[in-house]
Chain A
Amino acid sequence: MIGATVVTPTYYLVLATILFTIGGVGLLVRRNTLVMFMCIELMLNASNLTFVAYARALNDISGQVIVFFTLVVAAAEVAVGLAIIVAIFRRRQDVTADDVDLLKG
């Protein structure tokens, strides 16, 4: 039965890998910059899950400290990224990634 299964850290790592993959595929597939940002959050969460799973498996608290810093970086990234999206929207009235192609030769 499912209740008798022993959950090892490998389970968490595989789940984090799948979550990271979904985030990466979403980042490539979607065109809305806001949804692309959410996919980056998914990938960051997957890495956080890996850190915490290893912190638990190795009984080392450093993994959780790293997650703390990751959260801070994610918050800063979201603040600056959303400000960039607002600035792009003011100029172009759209937030589709295909429209921001001024650097294309």
Chain B
Amino acid sequence: MLTSTPRRKRGTIAAAALAVIAIASLSACSTNSTSTSSSSSASAPATSAGSSSSSGGSNPLSPTGGGAVVVGSANFPESELLAEIYILALQAKGVKVTPKLNINSREVYYPQIKSGAISIIPEYNGTLLSVAVDPKSTAKSTADVDAALAADLPSTLEVLNPSSAQDSDSITVTAATAAKYHLTSIADLKPYASQLVLGAPPEFKTRADGIAGLKATYGLTFKSFVPLDESGPITLSALTGGRVQAADVFTTTPQIITDKLVTLTDPKFNFAAQNVIPLVNKSALTPTIESTLNAISAKLTTSALLQLDAAVIVQHANYSTVAAAFLKQAGLS
């Protein structure tokens, strides 16, 4: 076919094809990947690097105009949901808000909130401390982590009150396993761990609070370890299908509800606290903002957050609708 086409026409066809491919790839690159696609895990706050590539929508350094408060979020459903809650609550109190959602990862947004380009972002106290503020910190409990943050945060930043809602690593089992061995906390696993297979992200083998931490804190030695994913479809399938009997499922993963899983408590704080906490640039902080966000934190529990995540991730409900419903139910709108 091509050998019979004259050379000039071949060149034109080739150029046109290249142009189409270039335009298609450029438009694909600039499309902001939204959370409605495949992600079944609520978030990955315990990992240091955020998710890859998506280039995000707006330029976070562009002027916000007129003293509006900029509320940002990271690039996963739970973060976006929390930001929506903050935004609606603040707007209800008459604060002018500019949203800057779906910023790729902490590496990207942390410098921005430090400089004031972003004013408020929902954070998790444990990873904020261990990743951005003080990697050498050994603080584990909510109180210790918050104290370390208060001491070591850069001077432009401040954290408000933590909520009781946590999205952290956990050891989770099926309802059947919990009933069989009468499990409520990780400590209850001690006599049975040698019969059980543990599933968790691959880094559990080397992380201080992984296999080594479970042994040191609770004296657990599991029968074997299967490296899976970050509380995603592979981990959940392994747990519900019986490939593993205990797994690291992030505590606000919606499948905890839909698959009737049981998250064991961590009374000795093997996993550092990961309370949802508003991170604020001091220059934007006003008494209204402070009291509004603190009021939200007071009403946000892990089970409430779990229900909200289920609504947006499993039922694909609209973020604003879910956020508004939460605020109304909490008496905050």
A binds B: no
Q: Which residues of A pack against B, CB within 8 Å?
A: none
